Amino acid sequence: MNDYQTTIKSRVTLAGTGVHSGKPVSVTFAPSDVDTGIVFHFIGGSEPGREIRALVSEVGATDLSTLLGDPAGVHVSTVEHLMAAILGVGLDNLVIEIEGNEIPILDGSAALFVEAIDQAGLDTQPVKRRFIRVLKDVRIESGASWAEFRPYSGTRFEIEIDFESRAIGRQQFAIDLTGDSFRNEVARARTFGFLKDVERLWAAGYALGSSLENSVVIGYDNRVINMGGLRYPDEFVRHKTLDAMGDLALAGARFIGCFRSYRGGHRLNAAALRRLLSDRSAFEIVETTRRDHGRIAEISAVSGPVFAPWAI
């Protein structure tokens, strides 16, 4: 992982279907200056030119996906897979030009976003990357679910899910995040759902773009009904890990620490991140100088800001 900030070398466009609207949508990735962060720029709709920064302070809803902005006004939904790809490949500064208010679902994973970024290429910029280093345990609970940050000499995710469905059951997955580990172990994991829930959402006017082309679907007999089966034996927990990566990418900078969760989701991920960033004794802003297999070897605290993610 580069110690310096990055952007992309050239513009690249992706087009597909919005999983909730069922309408055609497209996004274009464009290079951006240092210390810009990730910015969504609307080029159509009722307020062309409006921008929304990819920060947890902008999260407006977490019911079916992660939505930035005002759900009743200007917003962009289903950002989590794209944000996971941005985090996974190590991209810091990017303008995302968007038509409509939804990121295309593509194949339900982050893999095609990674391919688009690879096609554009990464350009190293002459400014050091800054990190949010976790200094102490921070935990949040909601019923039987919980999530927490812990100090760790790298960026690590430990995710556990527990479903009554026999097709899923209880699964655990842990990963030290690097470019290679993300690409090989997480990026291709698809979103999933139950046929009974999808049919209910369709009837209510939601998930209109959901299909077997972009989701792993579990039928009434508790079996995966997709003809190709699963991409990983534990694809369900790997996708929940991908979701967590995308949600935590809204910190405004990559974190140095371990994120753990049990029966988590978008709402819990956002709440845990807000809890961490609301406690200035729980983290510090640092720069790194060397790494070894994804773990941080040398760090130094800095006074410069990242993208003010704690303004929540």
- Active-site choice (41, 75, 266, 293): 266
Token pair listed for 114: 């990674």
Q: How far apart are CA 282 and CA 65, in angstroms?
A: 27
Active site residue 41: no
- Extended strands (E) in 130-240: 131-134, 138-142, 145-150, 155-162, 170-176, 192-194, 216-218
Residue 57 per-residue DSSP state = G
Residues 110 and 81: beta-carbon distance below 8 Å: yes
Q: How far apart are CA 42 and CA 96, in angstroms?
A: 8
Residues 259 and 281: beta-carbon distance below 8 Å: no
**Binding-site residues for Zn(2+), please?**
81, 239, 243
CA 263 to chain centre: 17
Nearest to 51, CA basis, from 114, 94, 112: 94
Token pair listed for 309: 């993610």
Whether the CA torsion 210, 262, 252, 309 is positive or negative: it is positive
- Residues assigned a catalytic role: 266
